[in-house]
Amino acid sequence: MASYKLNTSLLLVLFVIANASNFNNDFDITWGGGRGRIAGDILTLSLDRISGSGFQSKKEYHFGRIDMQLKLVPGNSAGTVTAYYLSSQGPTHDEIDFEFLGNETGQPYTLHTNVYTQGKGEREQQFRMWFDPTSRFHTYSIIWTRQTIVFLVDETPIREFRNMERIGVPFPNRQPMRLYSSLWNADQWATRGGLVKTDWTKAPFTASYRNFIVKPNLLTQLDSVRNRRLRWVKKNHMIYNYCTDTKRFPHGFPKECSVNH
From 99, 104, 122, 165, the catalytic residue: 99
Give percent helix, percent strand, percent coil of the chain, each to the nearest 5.
20, 40, 40
Long-range contacts of 30-34 (CB under 8 A, 24+ apart): 30/54, 30/55, 30/56, 31/182
Catalytic site includes residue 99: yes
Is 60 tagged catalytic?
Answer: no
- Please tell me which residue in 60, 95, 122, 160 is annotated as part of the active site: 95
d(CA 230, CA 144): 17
User: Strands, DSSP E only, in the chain?
Assistant: 19-20, 27-31, 36-39, 42-47, 53-57, 64-71, 80-87, 95-101, 110-116, 125-127, 138-144, 148-153, 156-162, 178-185, 205-215, 238-241
Strand, coil or helix: 64: strand
In Å, how far from its chain's centre is CA 242?
A: 17
The burial class, CB within 10 Å (0-12 / 13-18 / 19+), for 25 is: exposed
Enzyme catalytic residues: 95, 99
